[in-house]
Structure 1
Amino acid sequence: MSFERMWRDLRPVGRDERSGGYFRQPWTSAETELRVWFREEATARGLDLEADGIGNMVAWWDPTGRGRRGGLLTGSHLDSVLDGGAYDGPLGVVSALAALDLMRSRGDSLSTPIGIGVFVEEEGSRFGLACLGSRLATGTMSWAKARELRDRDGIWLSDALSDAGLDPTSGFVDLSSVSCFVELHVEQGRDLVDRGAAVGVASEIWPHGRYRFDFLGEANHAGTTRMEDRRDPMLTYAMTALAANKQARLAGHRATFGRVEVTPNGTNAVPSQVTAWLDARCDTETSLAALVSEIERQGVDRAGRDGTHLRVTAESVSGAVGFDSSLAARIAADHEDGDWPVIPTQAGHDAGILSAAGVPTAMLFVRNPTGISHSPDESADTADCLVGVEALADTLARLAR
């Protein structure tokens, strides 16, 4: 049951032949096919599969026969961003299964059960809230609040789940007895490339948030309306996007307007409204608040000059996550090729949600030769992936002993 074979099985699922990118949005046919694949892989290994009412799954291996209490959890997610890469998420799931195979083949003596988890809607690409599955599983978000979410087509989350044959009222996977969570992930940056290391360990996740900017103006004719008579929200948006770029660059932070909707979206019409979503990430929560506040201030100032109006809504904000430093040091130290580097990440992960919920958590990263992620160009060398599998197996075995 090799890593290479499993990776070949997954590569075509949800792949767009034109761009080479992946569309594996939650509760669609591609993502459902991947969950069926995971169920089959768990069954083939004789694992005890636990699935919940939104599609989260945990496959348990209990060599002790004493039940799951105090078990180690690993895994990741199978969904993707729109037109995303192959490795973000699935690498952690495939590596977890391969690591389990390796531990079994080595005859590792373990004193605790090991679970391989798959969390749904990690990317937030459909319903706009990242790590939705792990938020519900840890109880950091209630179903009463989650059920109010709608996707960009106006479909309610509860309806999407019902169409997929799922019932969230049946409950969520039980993580209350998990003693530790270790997530392997492709690195989304070039830190390991610059260090010449195949594997690294996470120290922290930067705080980050998603904010909706509604720029309101007045629709009018693109040909007959004099420039000085316009109340054009596109101008306000354009200046705000430039301001966000400048402020983030000056501070060494991240600010991105990656999604825009225009009303009425006509070539020959001045728009009445532009809605844009800002993704902002900083090294501290104070810096994040200051960055977004400054971007909003400059946008409001420009709106006053354009005769438009700006309204900002925070849709989701995640605080800083500092992973257990002693656990990270323990995982990173004393390997044949030397200590693994301990590095921060600016990307959000299910590991951050479990850590914030009080579960001791660590992350392993596998080198990404280009540093590109959330793109069809995301990649990892097979040789590095296999190093990652061994690193995960060694980590789990060390913790389980």
Structure 2
Amino acid sequence: MIEILPEEIDRQMDWISSISDKEGKGTTRLLYSESWVKAQNSLKELFEKDGMKVEFDEVGNMFATIEGSESPETIIASGSHVDTVVDGGRLDGQLGIMAAYMAMKALVDEYGQPKKSLRIVSMAEEEGSRFPYAFWGSKNIFGIAKKEDVENISDNKEVPFETAMTEAGFGYLTGAPRFNNFDAFIELHIEQGNFLENSGKKVGIVNAIVGQKRYTVKLNGEANHAGTTLMKYRKDVVESYARIVTEVIDKANEIGDPLVVTFGHAEVTPNVVNVVPGEIEFSIDTRHTDQKALNEFAEYIEKVIQKHADAKGIQAELNLWMDEQPVPMDQEIVSVLENVCDQNGLNYQVMHSGAGHDSQIFAPRVPTAMIFVPSIKGISHNPEEHTEAVDIVQGVQALAEALKELAY
């Protein structure tokens, strides 16, 4: 089995995570920022030192290729996104890039040139942290990002998307995409949850990414005096909200895994102690790996909201603003990962991803799978995000062995 040293993982991750827009703990590397440009160029120098051919597409995705000896046109790829959230951790996204580099370098050092081409992908953006648009990198790889979606948006400092992009040296995709001819893609990522940690597993083989539905709901009742309005006459939106939350969460617990539902944001008007609240706006996020089950639960949510609104004589407005389908991973690539883990005695578990990843853009177009490594307490998008290097080793080994199986 390919040897991956924990100290090499730490060295690489300390290096790449130090390239940040902010000093101090955590990494902030937003799309087209100064540190983003520095990170992509620094990675380019690293990959070129190891003899890889490095190319950028129009928007700033980077591709580092080790040409195959027999079928160079067949490309087996791995990587992730180079951008971070504000005050992010040292692993999210960038671990996938560095894991691909360490796995491919170890393979070439041990076995020489692959028969098929190996390619590292450092994607421009996934997080949507600087501008209100996510998956700009992977969507451009496949030509599905739309210029009209970003040409009039700005960051929180009023810098237009187009200005930031051109100042970083990039522009819009013109013509057909040039780097989308992958034969397989494997993305390694921290779990961003605590399933692996709690189960004592070192490798998660992802067989599906959940579908998501997100609502903004507004309940309009009647604001009134908190002392003089009898309970039976109130159109209290907080009461209705509380009943909705309780009933929906109880039902989700009854149905069980992998269904989840979250009431994350609530804003009450007027938000004062002595007035019966007359309006509330709140969010609902629900996810499942099965489309039919997700649809059925969403219908249930809508019925519960309407039921409690009608019971109090209040109006309910529902806006379903996200409706993403579940994305299955390629069963053949999943099987390759299971086989190499079995053959090499790696401690793994087949599981689903409850978060979105670039792989969900790849999977409908390219045979794709994901590898998860544990996250301590499931903490992510936070400077406290951490996984000990010894707990990352098996994930990188699984990646290397799978790349060997596919490319050698």
Could you say if the C-alpha distance between residues 225 and 82 of structure 1 is closer, same or farther in structure 2, counting changes exceeding 3 Å? farther
SS in structure 1 of the partner of residue 100 of structure 2: helix
Give yes or no for contact 1:61–1:115 (8 Å, CA) kept in 2: yes
**Counterparts of 1:105 and 1:224 in 2: how far apart (Å)?**
78
Deviation, 1:66, is: 6.7
Summarize the alignment of residues 232-271 of structure 1 with structure 2, pairs less than 5 Å apart: 240-252=244-256, 253-259=259-265
Q: Hey, what's the Cα distance between the residues in 1 that align with 2:360 and 2:113?
A: 29
Name the residue aligned to 1:397: 404
SS in 1 for 2:180: coil
Structure 1 residues 271 and 174, CA gap change in structure 2 (3 angstroms)? farther
**Match for residue 165 of structure 2 among 141, 161, 167:** 161
Alignment partner, residue 363 of structure 2: 355
Question: Partner amino acid for 1:364?
Answer: I
Instruction: Answer yes or no: is the 8 Å Cα contact 2:236–2:277 preserved in 1.
Output: yes
Q: Which amino acid in 1 is paired with 2:356?
A: G
CA displacement 1:87-111 (0-9 Å, x = unmatched): 2211111111111221222133411
Q: CA deviation at 1:183?
A: 0.7
Q: CA RMSD in A?
A: 3.9
Match for 2:49: what amino acid? A
Larger Cα-atom Rg: 2
Partners of 1:278 and 1:97 in 2: CA distance: 39
**1-side partners of 2:31 and 2:245: how far apart?**
29
Quote the Cα distance in structure 2 between the aligned partners of 1:364 and 1:311. Answer: 40
Q: Tell me the distance in 2 between the aligned counterparts of 1:30 and 1:395.
A: 32
CA distance in structure 2 between the aligned counterparts of 1:268 and 1:162, rounded to whole angstroms: 53
TM-score (norm 1): 0.81
The SS at the match of 1:280 is strand
Q: Distance in 2 between matches of 1:316 and 1:251?
A: 22
Question: Would you say the 8 A contact 1:61–1:114 is kept in 2?
Answer: yes
Match of 1:49 among 47, 54, 64: 54
Structure 1 residue 44, shift from structure 2 partner: 3.2
Contact 1:50-1:173 within 8 A present in 2 as well = no
1:64 deviates by 3.0
Residue 338 of structure 1 deviates from its aligned partner by: 5.5
Which residue type is aligned with residue 383 of structure 1?
V
Contact residue 53 and residue 172 of structure 1 kept, 8 A:
no
Pairing 1:34–2:30 present:
no
Q: Is the 8 A contact 1:247 1:291 kept in 2?
A: no
Deviations 1:297-316 (A, max 9, x none): 33344445667644333333
Change (3 A) 1:258 1:148: farther
Aligned with residue 121 of structure 1, among 104, 125, 138? 125
Pick from 365, 384, 389 the counterpart of residue 372 of structure 2: 365
**Matched residues in 1 for 2:44 and 2:270: separation?**
45
Structure 2 SS opposite 1:161? helix
CA contact (8 A) 1:243 1:295 kept: no
**One-letter amino acid of the counterpart of residue 363, structure 1:** M
Q: Which stretch has the larger CA shift, 98-107 or 335-344? A: 335-344
- Read off the aligned partner of 1:198 and give its amino acid letter: K
Counterpart position of 1:62? 67
2:349 to 341, 349, 362: 341
Quote how far apart the aligned CAs of 1:59 are: 1.7
TM-aligned CA deviation for residue 71 of structure 1: 0.8
* SS of residue in 2 equivalent to 1:370: helix
Paired with 1:323 and 1:126, the residues of 2 have a C-alpha distance of: 29
Hey, what does 2:94 align to over in structure 1? 90
- Measured at CA, do residues 365 and 272 of structure 1 come closer, stay the same or move farther in structure 2, by a change above 3 Å? same
SS in 2 for 1:87: coil
Residue 106 (structure 2) aligns with: 102
- Which secondary structure does the structure 1 equivalent of 2:31 belong to? coil
For residue 3 of structure 2, what is the aligned residue in structure 1?
none
Match in the other structure for 1:178:
182
Indicate the residue corresponding to 1:296 in structure 2. 302
**Bigger shift: residues 96-105 or 6-15:** 6-15
CA contact (8 A) 2:65 2:118 kept: yes
- Percent identity, aligned pairs only, is 29
TM superposition shift of 1:285: 1.0
Corresponding residue SS for 1:201: strand
Describe the superposition over 1:248-290 as per-residue Cα deviations: whole angstroms up to 9, x where unpaired.
Answer: 3232211224456678989999988755443321131122222
Provide the rounded CA distance (Å) in 2 between the counterparts of 1:272 and 1:84. Answer: 38
Moved more, 82-91 or 341-350: 82-91
Q: How far, CA to CA, are the matches of 1:155 and 1:273 in structure 2?
A: 34
